[in-house]
Amino acid sequence: MAETNQCLAKFRCGKILTTPNALERLTREDILCGIGRHHAGDWGDGDNEANERALIKWTRLWSVYRAENGTKFWIITEANRLVTTVLLPADY
């Protein structure tokens, strides 16, 4: 039987935005890897319990990651799941 690629997404990300500061400090690979992890429910250094509750209660999802160069960045999906933002803590 042939293996199929299935999306393991736990939710819809909606429109994905990245702050100018994050675009300057992160590579494309950092951003894409972070979005993939966030979308799959790997919250990085974020609050796992809070995010799992947020999936059920439709509240904001907040993941915390480190770029290859060590830069800390966040990915936040709004409660309505219409927008996901990649940003640095200083951008918040």
With respect to residue 4, please indicate whether it lies within any of the assigned structural domains: no
With respect to residue 61, please indicate whether it lies within any of the assigned structural domains: yes
For the chain, the domain total comes to: 1
pLDDT digits (tens, 9 = 90+) for 14-59: 999 999 999 999 999 999 999 999 999 999 999 999 999 999 999 9
With respect to residue 37, please indicate whether it lies within any of the assigned structural domains: yes
With respect to residue 46, please indicate whether it lies within any of the assigned structural domains: yes
Residue 35 CA to residue 77 CA, distance in Å, equals 10
Q: In 3-state terms, the chain is what percent helix, strand and coil (to 5)? A: 35, 25, 40
Assign 2 a pLDDT band (cuts: 50, 70, 90): very low
With respect to residue 5, please indicate whether it lies within any of the assigned structural domains: no
Domain that holds residue 38: 15-91
With respect to residue 25, please indicate whether it lies within any of the assigned structural domains: yes
Assign 7 a pLDDT band (cuts: 50, 70, 90): low
Predicted TM-score (pTM) of this structure: 0.90
